[in-house]
Amino acid sequence: MQYAILYHEAPHEVAKRGTHDAPDYWAAWTTYMDMIRESGALLTGNALAPPATATLVRAGVVQDGPFPETKEELGGFVIVEAANLDAAIKITQGAPCAKPGAGHVEVRPVLMPSVQDA
Domain spans in the chain, listed from the N-terminal domain onward: 2-113
Whole-model pTM over 0.75: yes
Number of helices and strands in the chain (H, E): 3, 6
CATH no. for 2-113: 3.30.70.1060
Give 72-108 pLDDT, tens digit per residue: 789 999 999 999 999 999 999 999 999 988 999 999 9
Pairing state between β 2-9 and 61-64? unpaired
